[in-house]
Amino acid sequence: MKNKFIAVLFLLTGQLMGQGLDGDKISTSKGDLILKPILHATLVFEWDSTVVYVDPYGGAEVFKGLPMPTLVLITDIHGDHMDVKTLDALDLSKTKLVVPQAVADQLPDKYKGQLSILGNGSTVVLEGMIISAIPMYNLPEDADSRHTKGRGNGYVVTAGGKKMYISGDTEDIPEMRALRGVDVAFVCMNLPYTMDVDQAANAVLEFKPKIVYPYHYRGQGGLNDIEKFKSLVDKANAGVEVRLRNWYPGN
């Protein structure tokens, strides 16, 4: 009876603590950085016991079995990045949210005390990670464009000496092309909202991340051709590893 009680207690404790993250592993100076694609622009990563949700979207069910986040990064105000219904469905009671001002202005009041607001060019250190906000916007710069310069953030996150770039919704802007020393990049590609596959490949070949994940590749015409993206990058620079993952389960 005692052994049965201990077994049940162990099971319940494991469920309460979460199952940990199962995904791609990147070695750092302080353990593995574990990366997991979720949906569209949403990814989860874990490093040194810190769990980060990027642009949580799609409802709580897409995070089923995953540990709750220590940090949430939100890039922009659009519903596939700032999804209040998903935020409300998650347990964020102990979570810090890193957001641009435009997102802070639209979030419900209950989150106001949990915000770390970053503008383009700003940096914050949280949970041992250096988080820098960089521009994300459409070209040409236009007040009527879907993504205006300064409203949203791309993020560069440095953890354990490894640098990760998360593009958010952007075209192949000079600020992205000027990046150097990026170990892992998540680069969007969907028309008419961001850029096409050729633009994305051309930009990646300029800033040369060690690993690149095409993500956010669903546009008005359906899913973009990420196999073509991989072919373009592989042909021009085999030193950039293109990792294709399924960001659209069921498609």
| 146 band by pLDDT with thresholds 50, 70 and 90 | confident
Q: What is the mean pLDDT of the chain?
A: 91
Which pLDDT does position 140 carry in this prediction? 77
Is 158 inside any structural domain? Answer: yes
Domain membership of residue 122 as a residue range: 88-242
* β strands within 29-103, DSSP E: 31-39, 42-47, 50-54, 71-73, 96-99
User: Do the Cβ atoms of 154 and 75 come closer than 8 Å?
Assistant: yes
Is 203 in a helix, a strand, or coil?
helix
Is 39 inside any structural domain? Answer: no
Is 249 inside any structural domain? Answer: no
Q: What is the mean pLDDT of residues 192-206?
A: 95
Query: What's the Cα-to-Cα distance from 49 to each of 34, 40, 59, 65, 187, rounded to whole Å?
Result: 10, 25, 24, 16, 25
The contacts found for 220-227 with CB under 8 angstroms, 24 or more apart, are: 220/191, 220/192, 221/191, 223/248, 223/251, 224/189, 224/190, 224/191, 224/196, 224/197, 225/197, 226/189, 226/197
Which pLDDT does position 116 carry in this prediction? 98
The total of other beta-carbon atoms located within 10 Å of residue 31's CB is 14
Tell me, what CATH number does 154's domain have?
Answer: 3.60.15.10
Task: Judge whether residue 202 has pLDDT over 60.
Answer: yes
Q: Find which of 15-29, 140-154, 202-216 is predicted with most confidence, using mean pLDDT.
A: 202-216
Which pLDDT does position 20 carry in this prediction? 59
Q: What is the mean pLDDT of residues 123-134?
A: 98
Which pLDDT does position 250 carry in this prediction? 80
Is 214 inside any structural domain? Answer: yes
Which pLDDT does position 251 carry in this prediction? 74
Query: Tens of pLDDT along 11-36?
Result: 333 333 344 588 999 999 999 999 99
Task: Judge whether residue 157 has pLDDT over 70.
Answer: yes
**Quick one: which of 196, 187, 72 has its CA closest to 136?**
187
Is 79 inside any structural domain? Answer: no
Strands across the sheet containing 96-99: 24-28, 31-39, 42-47, 50-54, 71-73, 96-99, 115-117
Query: Tens of pLDDT along 63-105?
Result: 999 999 999 999 999 999 999 999 999 999 999 999 999 999 9
Task: Judge whether residue 2 has pLDDT over 90.
Answer: no
What residues have CB less than 8 Å from 172, skipping those under 6 apart? 139, 195, 199, 200, 202, 203
Is 206 inside any structural domain? Answer: yes
Which pLDDT does position 10 carry in this prediction? 34
Is 178 inside any structural domain? Answer: yes
Residue 25, Cα to own-chain centre: how many angstroms?
A: 15
In the chain, what percentage of residues exceed pLDDT 90?
Answer: 84
Number of domains in the chain: 1
Is 93 inside any structural domain? Answer: yes
Is 111 in a helix, a strand, or coil?
helix
Q: Which of 2-6, 24-28, 84-88, 221-225 has the lowest mean pLDDT?
A: 2-6
